[in-house]
Structure 1
Amino acid sequence: MSAVSRQPGTVLTDHLFQVPLDHAAPHGEQIEVYAREVVAAGKERADLPWLLFLQGGPGGRANRPLGRDAWLDRALDDYRVLLLDQRGTGRSTPATRQTLPLRGGAQEQAEYLSYFRADSIVRDAELIRHQLLGEHGKWSLLGQSFGGFCALTYLSLAPAGLREALVTGGLAGLRSSAADVYRAAYPRVTRKNRAHYARYPQDVEAVRRVVEHLAVAPARLPGGGLLTVPAFQSLGLMLGSGTGSDTLHYLLEDAWVRGSAGLELSDTFLAGVQSRLSFAEGPLYAVLHESIYGQRSVDAGSTAWAAERVRKEFPEFDAAAALQTGDPVHFTGEMIYPWMFETDPVLQPLQGAAELLAQRTDWPDLYRPEVLAANQVPVAAAVYHDDMYVDTAGSLATADAVRGLRTWVSNEWEHDGLRVSGGQVLDRLIRMVRGEL
């Protein structure tokens, strides 16, 4: 029997489902997928439409609600919400450095992880839909970031299961290779760097001081990871959220302390850096990141560490050169690099599997353009102007390729608009998909 608990204004019900690891072999190995049902208090027995939420990532578990917080407050006015821990995350069968060695060596781990992309997530959702709503029941879908990528896969593979789809910051390029994605991304990250240094010009020198120090003496983080110059630069992932620039600035304020040997990087700073750089809570984000762009009909080759390869085309991210010329040191963004599997203890045991996934050349297609061109499901999408994580131009091209998809392009919010807007982003999309706007 499912466990039921209560929070202020909500009733929560746990669900655990058995799904095939490989949906092409439904009677083969099974894994568990966990989902949390959330309904407004007093509406437990109401006949409400279901809203499936797919979190960003890859490798991100669903949010853990605290009553009617964030976008849930708006969603619970109209829906019974299902927060899905996508396979491998949260309370679903985990895929981590602790569990993956049970599969065997790197080859066996990579083969297992090849079943953790959007197509498998969508097929999990379809099995769950049948169990909760019946064969002919339909639900609404809300996809944030990578969850929006999954929404496009859902519309491609199983549109009959959807009443409507809402996408926030997650319209993927249907025909974009991994290299295409990063060629478009690095210039956006450059703009975010410039905006940060314009807001906090004192950080130009603050960042240079840290880089100069790390170039000579990489620092050991509290959890055992190694803070190198490239690792420090990867803090730029923060610059894509609404308050990320401010948070980065405050982190830099605490960089130094005077100890017995003179100035050194402070424990406060190193702990803050570790909280941002460690993949302990989501190793699949690193392991699977570039594979979410793999489609054999788009690029017959492998992803082959595309972010690392393409970075060489953008010399402004060369920290050593910036120190020599006196230019600001640029942070990077949502990029996964092979050295991360050497500096992060959580990722080190997964290095072999990650390398094999990076060299894989036979990724199945995730989107069906011909199905999307004939789409009948109402779809509304929030596209954030100059989103650091998802290319705006690519998102708008995808919107044009999906029949009936309506977009709202906004510069009021960054990529985290769904979470921080107090329900405003979700409310607008709901009204759009209903034809009220």
Structure 2
Amino acid sequence: MTSYRQPGLVLTDRHFTVPLDHDAPSGEQIRLYGREVVSSARSGADLPWLLYLEGGPGFGARRFHGKQAWLGRAVQEFRVLLLDQRGTGLSTPANRQTLPSRGGPDAQADHLAHFRADSIVRDCEAVRRQLTGGARWTVLGQSFGGFCATHYLSTAPEGLRTVLITGGLPSLDARPDDVYRAAYPRIQRKVEAHYARYPQDIERARRVAAHLAEHRPVLPGGYVLTPEAFQSLGIQLGTSDGSHRLHFLLENAFIDGARGEELSDAFQEDVSAALSFAAHPLYAVLHEAIYAQGEVPTAWAAERVRAEFPQFDAAKTLTGDDPLLFTGESVHPWHFEVDPALRPLREAAELLATRGDWPALYDAERLAANEVPVAAAVFHDDMYVDTAGSLATARTIRGLRTWVTDEYEHDGVRTSGGRVLDRLLALVRDEA
């Protein structure tokens, strides 16, 4: 273990070994990385543990600088573990550079099937037993981390002291088609709100899309920017500052170059950084699989369901006068063609999309008998997680207390400082 300091904090690098397949514990092992964080004033105290599970899938735990966001509130009473879920961050990686060593696409797809919430929760239990001596811990799950926390309640509640969920109460039985059928209208509302705030962006977005339809530029790093890929910048619109970031990106789109009007280098760099999956390929590869349960393949649900919403078709929009609609949190087959970080994984992703043997993730009966204190922040009209589905799940989990708010967007636990975490702790302690 290596320990070091930031202002007011002591941090310790921790490494764990777990089975790739928990049903074959003597088989291949993979590494997990977690960063322990504790207040420097209480570093020697016997504090309860709080495990943080990041959103995603495919993102390592957030790298904080000091007591940012909710962390300052957490270290007032907890020893925090920021866990890089399997395949992410400093845990054993799963990406275009490592997966070919597994063999062909079939072997890669079989490997990637072990990177959903069910395996992540079994990792957490293995880590808990090593770290706490068997004591229960509190879990804070953001977005997909909340999906994992809900699975935790379904399968291993004996490891849990309390559960806190922000923007991540999943529907227990919605199929991927249902997820996206509910998502596209929410996305459209966010786009319309953006254009109401920045009406000048209506013309700018159409102008960029028309340019891309004609030229299909290749961005720095090899990303092919198509109109559909440009539309996916709308994923930003579900965060607190996403509308503003999108606006500032669009206002810098064009420059008068020696050959006439062209996309500015600054715009191309920013778009490349925003759209590339190089740092989080599992997000694309497993995005629909996180909703899969049973024998029905995901079969590129977002792409199929999008056909039911023709207002999102960029080509049709450009033949008329309607505003271009951005899209949001959806992954499509063409992502694996335009993004060089995903192209080598295209065949494995296709196999995952046709897979029909996904285990169930949630146990409604066990959740209905829940005895673990649980509180969840549900963000009104959350772009990424269906509010109606979240509230239906909240009614299923015995004893769960909800805080439904439109004060924050999906990233409220980060942007609120410690307020969201403080509110959830008060709810599970019957102090609010």
2:141 counterpart residue number = 143
SS of match in other structure, 1:67: coil
1:386 counterpart residue number = 381
Identical residues among aligned pairs (%): 64
1:90 counterpart residue number = 89
SS of match in other structure, 2:377: strand
SS of match in other structure, 2:30: strand
Q: Which amino acid aligns with 1:378?
A: P
Matches within 5 A, 1:170-209: 170-209=168-207
1:357 counterpart residue number = 352
1:313 counterpart residue number = 308
Count of aligned positions: 432
1:115 counterpart residue number = 114
Q: Which amino acid aligns with 2:56?
A: G
2:77 counterpart residue number = 78
SS of match in other structure, 2:420: helix
1:133 counterpart residue number = 132
For residue 317 of structure 2, the aligned residue among 322, 325, 329 is 322
Matches within 5 A, 1:389-428: 389-428=384-423
1:238 counterpart residue number = 236
**How far apart in 2 are the matches of 1:34 and 1:117?**
17
**What is the CA deviation profile of residues 248-285 of structure 1, one whole-angstrom value per residue up to 9, with x for unaligned ones?**
00000100011111000000001110111000110000
1:166 aligns with 2:161: no
SS of match in other structure, 1:224: coil
**How far apart in 1 are the matches of 2:373 and 2:237?**
32
**TM-score normalized with structure 1 length:** 0.98
2:428 counterpart residue number = 433
SS of match in other structure, 2:76: helix
**What is the CA deviation profile of residues 56-79 of structure 1, one whole-angstrom value per residue up to 9, with x for unaligned ones?**
000010011211111101111111
**What is the CA deviation profile of residues 269-328 of structure 1, one whole-angstrom value per residue up to 9, with x for unaligned ones?**
0111011100011000000000000101xxx31000000000000011011221222000
**What is the CA deviation profile of residues 369-423 of structure 1, one whole-angstrom value per residue up to 9, with x for unaligned ones?**
1110100000000000000000000000000010000000000000010111111
Q: Which amino acid aligns with 1:358?
A: A
For residue 335 of structure 1, the aligned residue among 307, 330, 338 is 330
2:63 counterpart residue number = 64
**How far apart in 1 are the matches of 2:119 and 2:245?**
35
**How far apart in 2 are the matches of 1:10 and 1:65?**
11
Q: Which amino acid aligns with 2:34?
A: A
1:45 is displaced (CA, Å) by: 1.2
* Structure 2: gaps (5+ residues): none
1:39 counterpart residue number = 38
**How far apart in 2 are the matches of 1:115 and 1:71?**
30
**What is the CA deviation profile of residues 32-76 of structure 1, one whole-angstrom value per residue up to 9, with x for unaligned ones?**
011110000121110111000000000010011211111101111
**How far apart in 2 are the matches of 1:90 and 1:336?**
21
SS of match in other structure, 2:75: helix
1:118 is displaced (CA, Å) by: 0.3
Q: Which amino acid aligns with 1:86?
A: Q
**How far apart in 2 are the matches of 1:122 and 1:388?**
25
1:232 is displaced (CA, Å) by: 0.2
**How far apart in 2 are the matches of 1:39 and 1:58?**
26
Q: Which amino acid aligns with 1:425?
A: V
**How far apart in 2 are the matches of 1:109 and 1:322?**
38
Q: Which amino acid aligns with 2:249?
A: L
For residue 248 of structure 1, the aligned residue among 246, 249, 257 is 246
SS of match in other structure, 1:42: helix
**How far apart in 2 are the matches of 1:319 and 1:174?**
33
**How far apart in 1 are the matches of 2:262 and 2:64?**
39
* Structure 1: gaps (5+ residues): none
**How far apart in 1 are the matches of 2:340 and 2:184?**
27
1:285 aligns with 2:283: yes
Q: Which amino acid aligns with 1:20?
A: P
**How far apart in 1 are the matches of 2:143 and 2:180?**
16
For residue 213 of structure 1, the aligned residue among 202, 211, 214 is 211
Q: Which amino acid aligns with 2:389?
A: G
Q: Which amino acid aligns with 1:130?
A: R
**What is the CA deviation profile of residues 182-214 of structure 1, one whole-angstrom value per residue up to 9, with x for unaligned ones?**
000000001001000100111110011001111
**What is the CA deviation profile of residues 415-435 of structure 1, one whole-angstrom value per residue up to 9, with x for unaligned ones?**
010111111111100111111
SS of match in other structure, 1:46: coil
Cα-Cα RMSD: 0.6
**How far apart in 2 are the matches of 1:413 and 1:231?**
27
SS of match in other structure, 1:280: coil
SS of match in other structure, 1:182: helix
